[in-house]
Structure 1
Amino acid sequence: MMKKMADAEKKAGEGEGEDEAADSPKPAGEYTEFWKVYGPYLKMGVIEDQPNRIRLSKLIRFKSSHVDYRDEDDAYTDFESYVSRMPSGQKKLYYLIGSSLEEVKASPFAERLIKRGHEVIYFTEPLDEYLMQYLVEFSDVKFQNAAKEDLTVDDTDDEKRKQKQVRQHHRPFVKWWKETLVKAGHVDVDSVKVSNRLVDSPCVVVSSKYGYTANMEKIVRAQAMADQNAARMYLGKKVLEVNPNHPSIKRIRELWVEEGEEAAGAGTPASEAAVLMFQTSLLESGFEPAEPRSYAALVYKVLNDRLGVSEDAKVVDDFVYRRRRRRRRRSRSTRRLGPPSRRRRRQRRSCDGAQRAVPPP
């Protein structure tokens, strides 16, 4: 079956496929319908059929940051089209994998790539994680997962020198941040570094070079028969990348400088902001927080400070107290007058007695 699908790509190259009929939307629409049904089988062919892997990879379709989603037939592209659109100087094929198109489009991993005009491939199926483990390159261009820490952006020599100076300037700051997270119990943080991928986001949590991505962690956790002990070795490798140009990061650095040696302790504004920023970035990056209750407690504390609620404020159920008083009053009137049915009988008896007491005319 995989060989027949590979032969379909050969026919497409001879003019019988959808690529030769660019002026007619019908073949593209027909292949889109074919891809929606048989796409997973083609991906399995790339994984299992090594001799035909290159030929089958030409049949793979996906969505990307450069695709117009308004036309469903044209909402997919392929690797050959991607390579043809690559700007000069781009040396990698960038991709992201997530559980939905909305998730990968909104993720902060590829902010700088997209701003520089680089196209990012969007994969949204669980099988794609395994597919990209076998599909290493296409047309002699290697693939690059934008959610990994080893992301390389095609910077100029001046940009590289500037980034080196920025990293040296913030080295004590990110070192303190890493120590603060470890003291707070986040031993899964491998390192904290200055990011070269962020533009608008304050920070992002990425996987180490050989660690699981957030999407892969979800897949592993969902497998009931998976070896959790073996998987834990890869689940714990995370890297926090901070954007030194973001106002929030600048403010945390100011607090760190103002507090001095006190910033190394727990409970200071700088340390609490650093921990909360990391835990929030975990969620935004698709990871699950290791301590949900501690994260929730820290969020509530920040909200209370914002609302002006004192830490010593007690929980008082005023509504229950008033309801008990009303219930107590009602019970007293019931004991004095009796239940409603008894009161109505008394009223009827008094009316009957009054009628009998009146003499006839």
Structure 2
Amino acid sequence: MTDQTMHFQAEVTRLLHIVTHALYSQKEIFLRELISNASDACDKLRFAAQTNPDLWAGDTELKVTIAVDKANRCLSIADNGIGMGRDELIANLGTIARSGTGEFVSSLSGDSARDMALIGQFGVGFYSAFMVAGKVEVISRKAGEAQAWRWVSDGSGQFSVGEAEREGRGTTILLHLREGEDEFLDPMRLRQIVRTYSDHIALPVVLHEDGKPETLNAASALWSRPKSEVTEQQYKDFYHHVAHAFDEPWLTLHARAEGKLDYSLLLFVPGMRPHDLFDPARKSALKLYVRRVFITDRCEELVPAWLRFLRGVVDSADLPLNVSREMLQNNPVVARIRQAITRRVLTELEKKAEKDAAAYASFWENFGAVLKEGIYEDAEHRAQILKLARFRSSAREGWVSLDDYVAAMKEGQAAIYVINGDQLDQLKRSPQLEGFRAKGVEVLLLTDPVDDFWLSVVQDYADKPVKSATRAGADLDAVPDTVESKPEGGDKLEGASLGTLIAALKQALGDAVKDVRESKRLTDSAVCLVAADGDMDMHLERLLRMHQKLDKSSARILEINPGHALIKALAARAQQPGAMDALADAAQLLLDQARLVEGEPLADPAGFAQRLARVMEKAL
């Protein structure tokens, strides 16, 4: 069969341009990436051979081999792992096969540090080989198959695939180095790179020099070593390997449990948000080993979905080597490990939050929205997560905990007040907050979609009820005024004139509103909409409609500000003959104004435009 030439996926072409021209400040990273991929291939073979021992084919000593051909200026990295067939070579090296390709490409920014992290997470570190190589050959033979295949490219936009020969299973990558990259033909330089970046790899990395093999790394599972024997740099290098990332870990958790359960864990909280954090599948990225034998690289049963940002390894001595996906889902050992990991991670987060508020704030900005999913989903750990939660506030900058909020509550304030919305700036300008500001009462500003859901299961905190500032029952009468706030145009409208206006507005608006009433929360705006006590929160309803979970909007209460000049002018007009006809357009415009401020779509945009034109015409 002759070689077949194909074109890279467009995203790969763009990726190759970034990698080869702007990405890595330290080119030697390519060797770490290729060794890491080779190690993963060996892990996959070891796991597959548990159910199909024939895959070993007499070669059970897994390793990564590095060889130098100075005469031809060629560096090779080979493994005897699972290998790839023709279709896998095309899929794995010609396309970005993992989910989120569009998101990946749109996320590439030209910022080398940020883009390196993304490229590692998407499992495409292989392309870093083109930083030093003008041509890359990949010769691979899949375990259990007789035919080997060759993949060749110069990184310019296309590649070819054809039949090849290879003794035994596995993959060999041949790098034909560019001019000026001779340092990577120097055995001393290669030793230094491997010991710096890949010493943690749990299988031998062997350098062949003058026909003599030399193992360059410690070749032991890092998580199985005592913490006292592991350096900070080794932890970082292992994180880069296991997470396919280039950022620094925010938190490292290395522990060993013995007794009723026997397991080791080496877990990391990333310093940057992984690209797939909000993937609807919400899959964990923890690797599971059994007595140092790789089982799976996405064991969803090891941690709850709200801890899916964790990266790392869990190695159990209590599970059978032939454990299946179905066994993992219902295994009591896995369930107990999950519980222990959850408790340990939450405890470590509490320590971090107490010791270094600034560092914890960076964690919360990256992963707070995910952790809050646990408030809704995990009743057992709800109280602990609530204590860890941080929020933006109407009264101060930075992040605020619920304990901070309770400690700062005003005299006479009986509840914790919150308001939900899509954007922080929009919430800060919400008319609903005017009365709270006038009283000096703090309101927590919630902008994550999950906030709407966890509020439905949290009734109180520290014996203080949690209430929405957008509900009619937000009672501030018991809180003394702390800010001088006089309504526009002098005294407030009251008595019969206010009652007449409210009755006229109710008649004009009909079923479009549940009620019209005087507002005690407004100080500057003329009107706002609020939800009746017992009704669904307005932002949650809007979210559900957006996702087609609700067919129509509920009628809301229209609150009017009796101190606003516009409301007083309308009240005066309501006393005159023919008031109902004159107020019809004004009433609808008030309701539309309140809807717009809330971010609600107008029920009748054309009607709104016509009414506005009529009112402006009369005014002019």
Describe the shift of the 1:198–1:167 C-alpha distance in structure 2 as closer, same or farther (beyond 3 A). Answer: farther
Describe the shift of the 1:156–1:28 C-alpha distance in structure 2 as closer, same or farther (beyond 3 A). Answer: closer
In the alignment, which of 483, 502, 505 is matched to residue 177 of structure 1? 505
Alignment partner of 1:100 is 2:448: no
Structure 1 letter corresponding to 2:358: G
Structure 2 letter corresponding to 1:243: N
Q: Deviations over 1:225-256 (max 9, x none)?
A: x252xxx3xx2220000111111000000001
Q: Secondary structure at the match of 2:559?
A: strand
Query: In the aligned structure 2, how far is the partner of 1:195 from the partner of 1:34?
Result: 40
**Other-structure match for 1:345:** none
Query: In the aligned structure 2, how far is the partner of 1:156 from the partner of 1:220?
Result: 34
Conserved? CA contact 2:470–2:537, under 8 Å:
yes
Q: Deviations over 1:14-70 (max 9, x none)?
A: xx3332x3xxxxx223212221232123211111111221111111111002222xx
Alignment partner of 1:49 is 2:365: no
Describe the shift of the 1:104–1:83 C-alpha distance in structure 2 as closer, same or farther (beyond 3 A). Answer: same
In the alignment, which of 547, 552, 556 is matched to residue 238 of structure 1? 556
In the alignment, which of 503, 508, 528 is matched to residue 204 of structure 1? 528
Aligned counterparts, 1:19-38, within 5 A: 19=354, 21=355, 27-38=356-367
Conserved? CA contact 2:526–2:560, under 8 Å:
yes
Query: In the aligned structure 2, how far is the partner of 1:124 from the partner of 1:213?
Result: 14
Structure 1 letter corresponding to 2:370: Y
Describe the shift of the 1:302–1:30 C-alpha distance in structure 2 as closer, same or farther (beyond 3 A). Answer: same
Conserved? CA contact 2:376–2:457, under 8 Å:
yes
Describe the shift of the 1:219–1:258 C-alpha distance in structure 2 as closer, same or farther (beyond 3 A). Answer: same
Conserved? CA contact 1:96–1:145, under 8 Å:
yes
Q: CA deviation at 1:279?
A: 1.4
Query: In the aligned structure 2, how far is the partner of 1:248 from the partner of 1:304?
Result: 17
**Other-structure match for 2:387:** 58
Q: CA deviation at 1:8?
A: 4.8
In the alignment, which of 443, 448, 465 is matched to residue 125 of structure 1? 448
Structure 2 letter corresponding to 1:278: L
Normalising by structure 2, we get a TM-score of 0.41
Conserved? CA contact 1:5–1:56, under 8 Å:
no
Alignment partner of 1:278 is 2:594: no
Structure 1 or 2: more helix by fraction: 1
Alignment partner of 1:39 is 2:352: no
Query: In the aligned structure 2, how far is the partner of 1:295 from the partner of 1:34?
Result: 45
Q: CA deviation at 1:168?
A: 7.0
Structure 2 letter corresponding to 1:293: A
Q: CA deviation at 1:9?
A: 5.0
Query: In the aligned structure 1, how far is the partner of 2:342 from the partner of 2:369?
Result: 12
Conserved? CA contact 2:435–2:523, under 8 Å:
yes
Structure 1 letter corresponding to 2:607: S
Query: In the aligned structure 2, how far is the partner of 1:301 from the partner of 1:257?
Result: 21
Conserved? CA contact 1:215–1:286, under 8 Å:
no
Structure 1 letter corresponding to 2:455: M
Q: Deviations over 1:143-199 (max 9, x none)?
A: 110111121114379xxxxxxx947763332122101112xxxx2300000011111
Query: In the aligned structure 2, how far is the partner of 1:6 from the partner of 1:241?
Result: 46
Query: Where does the alignment leave 5 or more consecutive residues of structure 2 unmatched?
Result: 1-302, 305-338, 481-492
Query: In the aligned structure 1, how far is the partner of 2:506 from the partner of 2:461?
Result: 38
Describe the shift of the 1:64–1:196 C-alpha distance in structure 2 as closer, same or farther (beyond 3 A). Answer: same
**Other-structure match for 1:72:** none
Query: In the aligned structure 2, how far is the partner of 1:6 from the partner of 1:153?
Result: 39
Conserved? CA contact 1:90–1:154, under 8 Å:
no
Q: Secondary structure at the match of 1:18?
A: helix
Alignment partner of 1:293 is 2:611: no
Structure 2 letter corresponding to 1:256: A
Q: Deviations over 1:284-338 (max 9, x none)?
A: 123222112111111122333445xxxxxxxxxxxxxxxxxxxxxxxxxxxxxxx
Describe the shift of the 1:6–1:139 C-alpha distance in structure 2 as closer, same or farther (beyond 3 A). Answer: farther
Query: In the aligned structure 2, how far is the partner of 1:155 from the partner of 1:285?
Result: 27
Alignment partner of 1:257 is 2:592: no
Structure 2 letter corresponding to 1:216: L
Aligned length, in residue pairs: 272
Query: In the aligned structure 2, how far is the partner of 1:167 from the partner of 1:136?
Result: 37
Structure 1 or 2: more strand by fraction: 2
Query: In the aligned structure 2, how far is the partner of 1:154 from the partner of 1:272?
Result: 33
Query: Where does the alignment leave 5 or more consecutive residues of structure 1 unmatched?
Result: 22-26, 69-74, 158-164, 308-361
Query: In the aligned structure 1, how far is the partner of 2:343 from the partner of 2:503?
Result: 52
